[in-house]
Amino acid sequence: MLDRYLPYSSGDVYSLSALNQLQTDLYATGYFSQVFVDPRYPGSNSKEQAIPIEIELKPGKKNRYSFGVGYGTDTGARGNIGWKNRILNRHGHKPEFNIQLAENGSRSNAGYEIPVFDLRYDSVNFNTLFLMKPGKIPGLNSFRLVDPSIITLPSTSSESAWSTCMKITRSAPPAVRQTFSSQEVTQP
C-alpha cells in the first residue's frame, strides 16, 4: 500500500523535496499520528549509489470524536458533536457525522469519502446535509454549503432543507484543487 503514496521511483535522482512530499502526503491521509522519513546515506567509502529510505509510521486512532460549545452572532448559543472514522476498511474509506444544535438553527451532516486513482490526491465524496432554522431570525435566509453552492430557505415559520452532494476532488500540489460536484436540494 505504501508504494501508492511514493512521489518517486527506484532509480530516480535523490530529492529532499520528494521525501518531504512523501512525509506530507502520508501524514495528510489521517491514518498516522506520526510519520518519519529518513534517508540512510551510505558512508563516504561506500560505492553504493542508492540511498535507502527508512519510513517509520505510528498509526493514528481509528475514531476521532469532537465536542464543542460556543456562541456566534449568526447561530446564538450552540453545541456540536462529531465523529469521523479515519479508516473504515482496507480501502481507506472514511465516514463522518456531525450535528450542531443552535439557538438560531440546527444542522446535521454525514459524509463518506472514498480514495480513488492516486490515493494521495483523489477522492469521491458523498455528503448529505439537513438544515433546520426556527422562524425567529428575520433577514437570515441562506446557508453556505459547498463553495459556491448556496441553499436559500423560504421565509416560512418552520424552515428546513435537505441537500445531497457527490463530489470528485483532485487536490494536487502545489495547492491546485479541482472540484466537480453534483448537488440535489429538496425543501419539505
How far is residue 182 from each of residues 66, 99, 112, 163, 166, measured CA to CA in Å? Answer: 28, 23, 15, 11, 6
The closest of 68, 71, 78 to 101, measured between CA atoms, is 78
| DSSP 8-state secondary structure symbol assigned to residue 139 | T
Are 140 and 150 within 8 A, CB to CB? no
Pick from 120, 117, 111, 101: which is nearest to 30 by CA?
120
State how far the Cα of 65 lies from the Cα of 76, in Å rounded to an integer.
Answer: 23
pLDDT digits over 42-98, tens only? Answer: 777 777 778 888 999 998 888 999 999 999 888 889 999 999 998 888 888 999 999
| ω into 148 cis (within 30 of 0) | yes
Task: Give the bridge partners for 110, in sequence order.
Answer: 97, 128
Mapped onto helix, strand or coil, the DSSP state of residue 1 is coil
Q: Is domain 2-59 annotated with CATH 3.10.20.310?
A: yes
Contact between 127 and 134 under an 8 Å Cβ cutoff? The reply is no
Residue 143 to residue 130: CA distance in whole angstroms: 11
Give the integer Cα–Cα distance in Å for 116 and 170: 10
Count other C-beta atoms under 10 Å from residue 147's C-beta.
8
Which numeric CATH code is attached to 63-186?
Answer: 2.40.160.50
Residue spans per domain, the chain:
2-59, 63-186
Residue 31, C-alpha cell as written in the block: 491514518
Buried b (16+ CB within 10 A) or exposed e, 62-78: eeeeeeeeeeeeebeeb
Tell me how far apart the alpha carbons of residues 164 and 126 are, in angstroms, rounded to a whole number: 8
Give the tens place of pLDDT for each residue, 96-109: 999 999 988 888 99
For 105-132, how does the pLDDT look when each residue is reduced to its tens digit (9 = 90+)?
A: 888 999 999 888 777 778 888 888 888 8
Residue 170, pLDDT score: 67
- Threshold 0.85, pTM exceeds: no
| Grid cell locating 127 | 455528503
